[in-house]
Amino acid sequence: MSDMFRITLPDGSVREVAPGTTPADIAAAIGPGLAKAALAARVDGEVRDIMRPLEGDAQLALITARDEADALELVRHDYAHVLAEAVQALWPGTQITFGPATDDGFYYDVKAPDSRAPFSMDDLPAIEEKMREIIRADKPLIRQVWSREDLIAKWEKDGETFKAEWAKELPEGEDLTVYWSGEDWLDMCRGPHLASTGKLDPQAFKLMRVAGAYWRGDQKNAQLTRIYGTGWLNKKQLDAHLMRLEEAAKRDHRKLGQEMDLFHLQAEAHGSVFWHPNGYVIWRELEDYMRRAVNGSGSKEVKTPQVMDARQWEQSGHWGKYRENMFVIPDETPNIEDDGPMVSKDADWMALKPMNCPAHVLIFKQGIKSYRDLPLRLVENGCCHRNEPHGALHGLMRVRQFTQDDGHIFCREDQIVAEVQDFCRLADRVYKDFGFTYAIKLALRPENRFGTEEMWDKAEAELRDAVVRAGMATQEYGWEELPGEGAFYAPKLEWHLTDAIGRTWQVGTIQSDRVLPERLDASYVGEDGERHRPVMLHRAIFGSYERFIGILIEHFAGKLPTWLAPVQAVVATIVSDADDYAHQVADKLKAAGIRVETDLRNEKINYKVREHSLAKVPQLLVVGKREADEGTVAVRTLGSQGQRMMSIDEAVAMLRSEATPPDLRD
């Protein structure tokens, strides 16, 4: 019995098993239902193949479809392998590279044979059918360990130049894992995988699109085709996902922005937004709302320069960590090393600011600060520029020029928790005003960071303590800690909003930073008469106005709350005899502060209704001869059927109520 392994299960029970026993054997011993449901195993915290023999005493948990996150990653990884196998079966001579799981599916980068054109959308139906054939064949997925040298020889023999190149760069003498699909297809992979292709649902995946890619992401290398798919545990999940995608396409802020005449983007300012009058109304309403939201917090609004000397960015640490994403410009006579990223001591270089924080430190440093001056809360609607890659730009969601509702709180050590706690309450109020639910996550220290371990220990504990005291470190608020996800200078709390169709968006943050005040030599005079470093809390709620507006457009499908709508009401005539009355109605609405337009065109009323519905006008007030005689309006609310007859005063009162921002309502 001394050679037996002790395997501890999640319920605390222990099973003694012989060497060579697999998690699948243990699942079968527990019961046939579990044996069928088990997809993989977590052995001492590591996800492994269910058919991989146990190697010693271990903690064991069996993974089933109920463990959705682990299960989805497994099946998506397997779908990627089946995709590669299918492509090579249909077109011998295709070379494969890599194919990971993604957030909602998988992809594989492949190189078509020289005898044919790169793969296209037209090829996807045939690939899907071949994938289903492989899945239905229920081919066992068998893990093996090969020597590096044998695997290189195998890839070179098969003409897999990309795989051979990658294997050659791995350390000499290292054993590598491969997986067979049945007896006729092999891929180099760390795993884990399911026991067989038959564990996948042949109706739970769909190939979505193809795109160009480069080997190892370098445009100097060979061009490949990336085939994207979405994969799920069952067809019901797939159908729900496809329905979400269809709904998301209807809500696309770029499409709605054009229909509603809000903004446009064009090559002359790639990555920056041209705001039209209607779109800028939304912007100004949000700006006014945010000013009111922070007004009572003792915050002081500032404005800082767009361009600052490169030495400032070098001192702050951004030049070394963030240089490639900054727009750098010469200041008269540049003098910089051509082949080096660092500024020479005689350089005259400037940079467009990618963030506001160093400028706020410079304001803090003007004059001597006392402990009595703290906390000092500075806010700025600060315009920033970041040199994002062309391929990463996406409508309003990712741009090169953006404006943050930015703020920095300079405080003493004993003030941090209370300040963060207050910010948690402020963010809660703001997001609820817009109808969002959210989750709070704590992003912890990354591997590459500034500062001491003691600094990071304090900062993480303070943020955690503030959320606990605010009563938000609970399941209700989606509380979660994210190891390694913090910024290089500070841990951060993140607010992840959930929109109307279940997507999440990370927007607000607050970071507890001891690094930047140290690097930029910020200090205050303490009660003891000595100099002390303030702690700097970086915080934003919208994140950026551009992205938040994009999120709002998609969340509301363009049907913005009346207080945010660029045009809140249109008075439309049925007959020209009502033109004068339409002007009277519009004048009363304008006097009540309503953004109103008139539509007196010689068009049928149904045409006008359709047009203003497309523009997402919240209220259409229809008037004809009868309404003019009776002093009424026929109100058609966006998204509702039929109409309601109201007096002018009733319509004005209704619209005034709807047009009042939520923070100003009784």
For residue 487, what are its two tokens?
């910024």
Final residue belonging to a domain, choices 64, 89, 115:
64
Which residue carries 């294997």 as its tokens? 167
Q: What is the DSSP letter of 534?
A: P
Same domain, 106 and 226: yes
Same domain, 168 and 242: yes
pLDDT at 121 (0 to 100): 96
Q: Report pLDDT digits (tens) over 524-545.
A: 999 999 999 999 999 999 999 9
Whether 474 and 499 map to the same domain: the answer is: yes
Residue 475 located in a structural domain: yes
What CATH number is attached to the domain comprising 19?
A: 3.10.20.30
Q: Output the pTM of the full model.
A: 0.83
Residue in the block written with tokens 């002007």:
583
- Asked if residue 93 belongs to a domain, the reply is yes
Amino acid identity at 637: T
Residues 150 and 218 in one domain: yes
Domain match, 516 and 473 both: yes
Residue 646: CATH number of its domain: 3.40.50.800
- CB distance 460 to 445 below 8 Å: yes
Q: 507 and 643 share a domain? A: no
Structural domain includes residue 586: yes
Q: How many domains, the chain?
A: 4
Q: Which residues of the chain have pLDDT under 50?
A: 1, 334-336, 341, 343, 346
- What CA–CA distance (Å, rounded) separates 13 from 370? 61
Query: What distance in Å separates the CA atoms of residue 515 and residue 520, rounded to the nearest whole number?
Result: 9
Please check whether residues 138 and 153 belong to one and the same domain: yes
Chain-wide mean pLDDT for the chain?
Answer: 93
Asked if omega into 375 is within 30° of 0 (cis), the reply is yes
Range of the domain at 230: 69-246
Estimate the crossing angle of helix 416-433 against helix 453-469, to 10 degrees: 50
Q: Which residues are catalytic?
A: 357, 386, 404, 406, 408, 492, 538
Same domain, 495 and 414: yes
**pLDDT tens for residues 35-74?**
999 999 999 999 999 999 999 999 999 999 999 999 999 9
Residue 334: per-residue pLDDT: 47
Residues 59 and 78 occupy one common structural domain: no
Residues 120 and 232 in one domain: yes
Query: Looking at the structure, do residues 9 and 106 belong to the same domain, yes or no?
Result: no
Q: Give all strands (DSSP E) within 123-184, no chain letters.
A: 141-147, 175-181
The last residue of one of the domains, among 526, 555, 584, is 555
Q: Is 326 inside a domain boundary?
A: no
Same structural domain, 541 and 462: yes
In a domain, 564, yes or no: no
Domain boundary among 531, 555, 579: 555
* Start-to-end CA span in the chain (Å): 76
pLDDT score at 2: 59
